[in-house]
A and B are shown apart, each in its own frame.
Chain A
Amino acid sequence: MTQAFPPAGVHLWSAFVSELEDPDHYATSFALLSSGEQAHANRFRFDSDRKSFVASRALRRRALSHYADVESQQWQFTVNEYGRPRILFPLMDELLEFNCSKSPDLVVCAVTRGIPVGVDIESLDRKVTQGFAEFTCAPSEWADIKSRPGDEQGKRFLAYWTLKEAYLKARGVGLSVPLDSMDFSVTASPRLTGHLEFSAANDGSEWQFALLSPTPFHIAAICVRRQGNLDSLVEMRPYSSPSNSLKQRTSSR
């Protein structure tokens, strides 16, 4: 059955990787994948990475099938020269845009009706080194992080990081934009959101950003190309396999 959504809307689908600990659910999801995806899944060294990959690729197929009369197994994908995935088959009158991201325990897939979109998700317990944070942040971002109370600094860094990733993924060209040339500002009220400052490399006015908490343990950033003055609404779509209760777990590699 196909689903309507607002012309400028974004649907953010999510699924827990822990669902695949049930062998039947793993088999069902694995069977949706192409032979190439299945081979890819089997090349992972760690079970946790394999499950997260299978969950992500299965969610992408299930989510897209909500908007077109296409079975989940039938979608075929290709990537652009920078590795950004897009739909190869079937050809459709209305182009569906999508972008996926995975964390060890939750995978997400953002879908729009023809609007370029990027998404990135991280677990809030993801730790990075200070050197990493300084390397990737613009000076104003780093100053903002350092000004936060100690227990909020990690989350604020992940807000900037996911915003940058979402922006690069929406543009689909990772190479040309240095990470610390993206100068974001994050505001926490009335809700957590991000804004890209204008610079030579980045026209912040072209893109709209949202920061979301798909669960209390995750942060996700979405970037969509702005359509006129219209703000895109982001709607959450948790996916759960039929007859499967959600079991949230924090897993680590």
Chain B
Amino acid sequence: MLLPALYTSRKAMPDNHKPKVSSSPELQREVAQLLVECLNLEITADQIPADEALYGDGLGLDSIDVLEIALVVSKRYGVQLQAENAENQHIFSSLRSLSDYIATERTT
């Protein structure tokens, strides 16, 4: 399987590396709500455990889903999508890791 989170665009912006921040339960819940709304999931936000996988298995997001989420996250939190971030696979591996990434990189 291709790693959807690795998809890049020339419209993507460069990124600065920052010290890692752990996400709060509130932010994880907010991101879970974003997933439910963006993907029309038939579950509620609190039914997504922090360690639930987002793609590959778990919630079973496909490449379009992952990129749609990345675009919403980038707009809402001012997080830039990046081309050559080797951590991209890890970032989208679970709700927790995506939330941690947002907590670390957010500008809004």
Residues of A in contact with B (beta carbons under 8 Å apart): 40-41, 43-46, 49, 53, 79, 82-85, 122, 126, 128-129, 131-132, 135-136, 161, 165, 168-169, 174-175, 177-181, 253
Contacts and interface: CB of A to CB of B under 8 A. Distances in A.
A166 to B, nearest CB: 11
A180 B11 contact: yes
A53 B1 CA distance: 12
Contact of A129 (B3, B11, B56, B71): B71
A45 B52 contact: yes
B85 to A, nearest CB: 10
Contacts of B39: 253
B18 interface: no
Interface of B: 1-3, 6-12, 39-43, 52-53, 56-60, 63-64, 67-68, 71, 75, 83-84
Contact of B9 (A122, A126, A128, A135): A135
B43 to A, nearest CB: 8
Nearest to A40: B57
B9 A179 contact: yes
A41 B60 CA distance: 10
A142 to B, nearest CB: 12
Given A131-B71, A132-B67, 15 more contacts: A40-B57, A44-B57, A45-B43, A45-B59, A79-B1, A126-B64, A129-B68, A135-B9, A136-B9, A136-B67, A168-B2, A174-B7, A175-B83, A180-B10, A253-B60
Contact of B83 (A132, A169, A178): A178
